[in-house]
Chain A
Amino acid sequence: MQKNKILKVDEGEILDIEIEEDLLKANKELASVNRKTFDLNNIKSVNVMGAIGSGKTSIIQWLIKELKNKYKIAVIAGDVTTGIDAERIKEAGAESIQINTGRGCHLDALMIRKAIKKLNLKEINLLFIENVGNLICPADFPLGTHLNMVVVSVTEGPYMIIKHPFIIKEADIVVINKIDLADQMEVNVNKLVKDVGRINSSAKVVTTSVKEGIGLNGLIEALKL
């Protein structure tokens, strides 16, 4: 507007500053920088989201055990305070980096940017990122991964999918886990699968039970691994 004019201001004058900056967009831009880093290093990356306790770590462990001879795998685990998940990943046989998010409720692209600097990118070709257990915030903060996977479990009840349409919309793969407990919980798994289709018809849905070893092959197929 009046950028060329020299403004004369008295001490204590009030100024208006236009900013017009979308704070979520800054994250998106950083996410695309992360994506470039993955691509340059030929690393396939998966953002694993889902509610607390839905089985994210169990599923990552499961995949590592099955795939560790075929891929060089690393895991970035976001946890509110503990390092328990990172320890479980090491036990399963993959390199892991822990991000303590403190009171933050999701990982963001900047945290991932910092974490991947600690990885030897030449030494890995498959990266799982375990997001903080939460079905709301991570949907707003893409990390730059090739695939977004959402893990829900039947123990979260029959409305889990339709109550969280945004994260389902962002998902490439939706895993419905703990199907061994479906009868006990009186949850109709087919209904959950249909709910996903109504919200996001292009997402692949896989039903699993880590406990009983059901669905692993379907999951590996959905991940194109």
Chain B
Amino acid sequence: MHEFSIANAILQKILNVAEKSAAEEIKEANISIGELTFLNKEQLIFALKVLSKETKAEKCKFNICVIKTKIKCLNCGYKGKAVYEGPEYHILNFKIPLNCPKCKSKKIKIVEGKEVLLKNLKIKIKIPK
């Protein structure tokens, strides 16, 4: 269900841009999703395909790439890759960043890995004669 509501938000944005730029057809959309969004890539593409039926994005190729997690430590200022604690946190195939690799503080902020980014579109435009 989560994939459908995210797909809907993405598609609304795409159709909005298409409208503004007088697109005849949307050829390709590049989307990046953070690995911590819990979004399943295949399910998201499926949802986009279902929802885009009978719209200008009907034949669109949806490319999705996954953004790796980056954290910032609020204690020591470390910024970079997250480390993972204990096997019990490997849930749903996600590894959960829980503390700072440098000072081990749990006061961390996730700076990358939670986004749903519509990066760019390839559109076919219509020129009025």
Give me the interface of A with B, judged by CB distance under 8 Å: 9-25, 103-106, 136-137, 140, 162-163, 165-166, 198-199, 201
Contacts and interface: CB of A to CB of B under 8 A. Distances in A.
A24 B114 contact: yes
Contact of A201 (B21, B106, B123, B124): B106
Contacts of B125: 9, 12-15
A166 B2 contact: no
Contacts of A20: 117-120
Contacts of A17: 17, 21, 120-123
Contacts of A165: 89, 91, 96, 98
A19 B21 contact: no
B105 to A, nearest CB: 10
Contacts of B91: 162-163, 165
Describe B's contact surface by its main secondary structure: mixed
A15 to B, nearest CB: 5
B106 to A, nearest CB: 6
Interface of B: 1-2, 4-6, 9-10, 13, 17, 21, 24, 27, 36-38, 88-89, 91-92, 96, 98, 106, 114-127
A188 to B, nearest CB: 15
Contacts of A105: 1-2, 5
A23 B2 contact: no
Contacts of A23: 6, 9-10, 13, 116-118
Given A9-B127, A103-B4, A105-B2, A22 B117 contact: yes
Contacts of A140: 37, 114
Contacts of A14: 27, 122-125
